[in-house]
Amino acid sequence: MKTSGIGPDKLRHALRRAYIGKEPPEIGLKWRDALMAKVREIGPLCGKPRFLPSFEKIVWRLVPITTPLALILIFFLVKLGLASAQNSLQSFINGLEEWTIIQFFSV
């Protein structure tokens, strides 16, 4: 097999000159409209639903409700003191247990 005598550096240099010398293509409004029409044909990409985005949506829906409730609870805990809040919570839990036992035995 006979080589042409052109080395890789000469070939690279010739290709570089040809690339630099060409004029940039004109992009008109028709091309942009055709591109956007193709993008619209593709439509949205629908992946399978994941857990985290669904969970995040639920959390952000509950934030406006839970934030004021948490602030009210903190206000009462600070005002009443932690010991009385613990006693109030314990009496509330005991009241629920008694009500459950009464319902279970139909007393």
Dihedral sign, CA of 59, 65, 68, 71? negative
Average confidence (pLDDT) over 42-47: 74
d(CA 107, CA 79): 38
Amino acid at 10: K
Give, to the nearest 10 degrees, the angle between helix 51-80 and helix 82-105: 110
Q: Which two tokens stand for residue 104?
A: 């279970």
Confidence band (pLDDT; 50, 70, 90) for 87?
confident
Residue 73 has pLDDT above 70, yes or no: yes
Degrees to nearest 5, angle at CA 27 with 23 and 32: 160
Confidence band (pLDDT; 50, 70, 90) for 10?
confident
Residue 14 has pLDDT above 60, yes or no: yes
